[in-house]
Structure 1
């Protein structure tokens, strides 16, 4: 099957520094790909290029075979790329329900005519309630987003992304800053999306136990370049990953993560 999302020789330079260096990679529906690498490898920058937060110096990003390189973040979101950030990206002074309703409304406005907008309002509220139930936040729908604990804010961000109904889900360190008790909730949400079988899911994550439990495929970046790509067991065991990403000898890696 043709890829849903693809980059071709994607490159960005900041002055004399090449943060992402000619990365070509294709992502397919029904597959969860973990993008890993050491700090400064270019993982988040690569995400920012694909989702439109940054404009590439050269190269292309394609969605369903169409070149979307000229589109910004809003245009790419409308085309079906959903992005969650390391730091939660919410409307803090709106309620939990309003945050999700606005996402459903933004998605609905792209499809609705002016005459149908008013009648659609109830549908947007119903969709918001549905996605809040999916992430177990129905009980706090009238709470201000700013008042939520960190773990619930991450769940709310997932609900917002689900309400946008994207083809591509991009998670940038979704468990960052979460307590041990909160992490399984987010991982279960991602597993639920993966079980759908029709979504393309990309995940930047430092925790190798999380990568092992979720990924169908691992892509490794190092100094902005793609250095490994394949099945998790094969990639994790490769010398280039153990040296460049984990920075440990094979036995030490196994003792730490086995």
Structure 2
């Protein structure tokens, strides 16, 4: 199957520091790929290079057959790359309903035009309420987003990204800062996207239980380099991941086995 998204020798340097170092990786529709690694490994920087928040020093980003390396983030979004950030990226002075409404209007091709259209589009109103119901926030539809707890803002951002229906979904630590009770709602939204079977999903996540429950594939970055790529059980068990991500050296693993 042809990749929907691909990076070829993707690299970025900040002065003398190489934050992402010649990473080549292909991603396919219907697959959720988790990107893991220790703090400072280059995961979010790699995401920023793909979505266009940062400009590559070298290498390419391909969206299907299109080389989008030189395009800004806005142009990549229009071509189907959707990104949810570590820090919420919402309209804080608008209501919950208005935030979702803008996403629904955009996806339906109504753009931001003429607010009076909104009141006459029952289908769009129903779609907005359906999205709010999926995150248990119908009762907060009139609340101002900036006044919401962090967990509600995270849920809303993931729901809004789903409403936009991009071809490529990029989730950067979607459960960060959420309570244990709130996490399942966000994970269910991601599972619903995955269940469609035709979307490409990239997920940066520190919580290994979340990774295990969602990922079809794991890639591991360490010091800006791709050091492992494969099925979750295989990658998590590999010595390079045990050492780089979990801080367990091969000697300690052998000692643990000897004392097991």
Q: Same fold judged by TM-score > 0.5?
A: yes
Find the counterpart in structure 1 of residue 68 from structure 2: 68
Taking the TM superposition and a 5 Å limit, the aligned residue runs for 1:117-128 are: 118=117, 122=121, 123-128=123-128
What is aligned with 1:168?
A: 168
2:44 aligns with 44
Question: CA contact under 8 A between 1:237 and 1:250: conserved in structure 2?
Answer: no
- Residue in structure 2 matched with residue 147 of structure 1 by the alignment: 147
Structure 2, unpaired ranges of 5+: none
Q: Which residue of 1 aligns with 2:99?
A: 99
Per-residue CA distance 1:12-70 (angstroms, 9 max, x = gap): 01111100000000111111100000111000000000011111111111112211112
Distance 1:34 1:235 in 2: 11
Distance change >3 Å, CA 149–CA 242, structure 1 → 2: same
TM-aligned CA deviation for residue 124 of structure 1: 4.0
Higher mean alpha-carbon deviation, 187-196 vs 126-135, is at 126-135
Bigger Cα displacement from structure 2, 245-254 vs 3-12: 245-254
> Match for residue 221 of structure 1?
221
How far, CA to CA, are the matches of 1:179 and 1:35 in structure 2?
A: 22
Partner secondary structure for residue 29 of structure 2: coil
Q: Which residue of 2 aligns with 1:188?
A: 188
Change beyond 3 A, Cα 1:253–1:135: farther
- In 2, Cα distance between equivalents of 1:252 and 1:79: 51
Maintained 8 Å contact 2:32/2:202: yes
Pairs aligned (count) = 251
Corresponding residue for residue 233 of structure 1: 233
What secondary structure does 2:245 align onto?
Answer: helix
Which 5+ residue runs of structure 1 have no aligned equivalent?
none
Give the TM-score taking structure 1 as reference length.
0.90
Could you say which residue in structure 2 is the equivalent of 1:134? 134
Alignment RMSD: 2.2
Q: Distance in 2 between matches of 1:157 and 1:240?
A: 34
Give the Å deviation of 1:253: 9.5
Tell me the alpha carbon deviations over residues 106-141 of structure 1, each in whole angstroms, 9 at most, x when there is no partner.
3344x77x89x9489725444322322332222211
